[in-house]
Amino acid sequence: MMLRRAVILLVLAWLGSSFALASDIKPLMDDTISPQMTETVPLVADSLLMHSQIAEVPLVADSTDVDDKDAWKRKIFRHGWSINDTTIKYPMVLDFGVKTYRWLNHALNYYDTTYVVNPGKTSGKKWKIMIKNNNWLDFYSGHLTTKRTYLQLNSDITSLFGFQICGMGLSFTYMINARDLLAGKFIRNRRLQFSFTTSRIFIEAYYRKNENSTVHLHWLGAWHGDEIFPGLKREGYGLDAYYIFNHTHYSQAAAYCFSKYQKRSSGSLLAGIYLSHQDVVMDMSVLSPKLRRYLPNSDTDYRFRYRDFGFLVGYGYSWVFHHGWLYNITFAPSFGYRHSFPNSIEGKKGLFSTNITAKMALVRTAGNFFYAFNFNHEGHWYNSRLYSFYNSYSNFELTAGFRF
């Protein structure tokens, strides 16, 4: 009995000590672990915030990179654009194109400013508006067969009025035929022209066609007078390209394009190539019986159709005889090979080619205003044992313009 009581007391004592130990441990955990937890949570939060800030750094750098890439666009939008502005940082491909253009522009468009200046650079006036009056005619003369029957014809003058706006290498022209208005009919004369001018190089291409226009016959053998001849048609196209040797002191553009200003007198040798195609048809069967008897034989179909390839050599000179006044004369004959087509007057044949180009200009400049008279003559001479035939195009042009 006593033994059982002793065991019960020992068990109760062990449980009491265990409960006391547990009650002591819980406050200890509250005092030790809780402060550690309150310090650990902020550390974790700070770590997460730091990681989020680190993660945001590349995003900010990427945005800056985008801004740097678009900086050239913002600068152009805010301050305007000039291709010669070297402070603009373009993307790599665009930068290569801009630098190439600058190099070509300097190489092909450099002038000694004591002789030639560019009004677009000195005054900032890069655009021009011009009122134009253009008058042109065709002229034909020569000898037919070995009998040397003389022939001479010319077209009516085609008079055009209109305006032209050009600048930054672009040009727009609108012209109306005054003879259409006066005659009350459509005169079918077509003319297309393209030109490219730098200080060193001049290139001009053209296409002209006269069909059903009024042509006057003035001479045929022993007969001479003024007779309307409806049997002539002409089509021609070609290209002239030449190099200007004294390109730092002499400017063709000052006399014929008005994009430069010649300050002092100067001239230059010109040399280059030319290509030309001419097709002139004269149907003599439309002549009256009175005039047909002056033909050298019974042939009534005369066609001169040929193509030329050759070289041209000439000289241009600009005389500045007073401040604001310029007089230019340019003369450039050309020589080469001529290919006559099978349906031409003498069939397929190789001949020596001779042509001529002559120009003259008188230009007056007064501030931003300028006035000009231009003359241009282009002639093609077909010459063989049986025939000698010269067909030409002449153009007279009056211009009044303003730079802005």
Per-residue model confidence (pLDDT) at position 179: 65
Q: Residue 19 pLDDT more than 60?
A: no
Q: What is the tens place of the pLDDT at every residue in 135-191?
A: 989 999 999 998 889 999 999 888 889 999 987 667 788 888 776 665 555 556 678
Residue 374 near residue 360 (C-beta atoms within 8 A): yes
Q: What is the tens place of the pLDDT at every residue in 85-131?
A: 778 888 888 888 888 877 777 777 789 999 999 887 777 788 899 99
**For the domain that residue 152 is a member of, what is the CATH number?**
2.40.128
Which segment of 17-21, 98-102, 282-286, 331-335 scores lowest on mean pLDDT? Answer: 17-21
Domain around 348: 109-403
Q: Cα separations (Å) of 328 from 112, 128, 140, 361?
A: 19, 21, 27, 5
Per-residue model confidence (pLDDT) at position 123: 72
Residue given tokens 């020992």 in the structure block: 10
Q: Could you tell me if residue 269 is inside a domain? A: yes
Domains identified in the chain, total number: 3
Q: Cα separations (Å) of 158 from 38, 134, 187, 201, 358?
A: 102, 8, 8, 30, 20
Q: Could you tell me if residue 368 is inside a domain? A: yes
Judge if 228 and 342 occupy the same domain: yes
| Alpha-carbon gap, residue 36 to 24, rounded angstroms | 19
Judge if 78 and 149 occupy the same domain: no
Judge if 122 and 36 occupy the same domain: no
Q: Phi and psi (nearest 5°) for 251?
A: -130, 120
| Alpha-carbon gap, residue 52 to 128, rounded angstroms | 61
Q: What is the tens place of the pLDDT at every residue in 260-279?
A: 999 999 999 999 999 999 99
Judge if 293 and 338 occupy the same domain: yes
Q: Could you tell me if residue 3 is inside a domain? A: no
pTM: 0.74
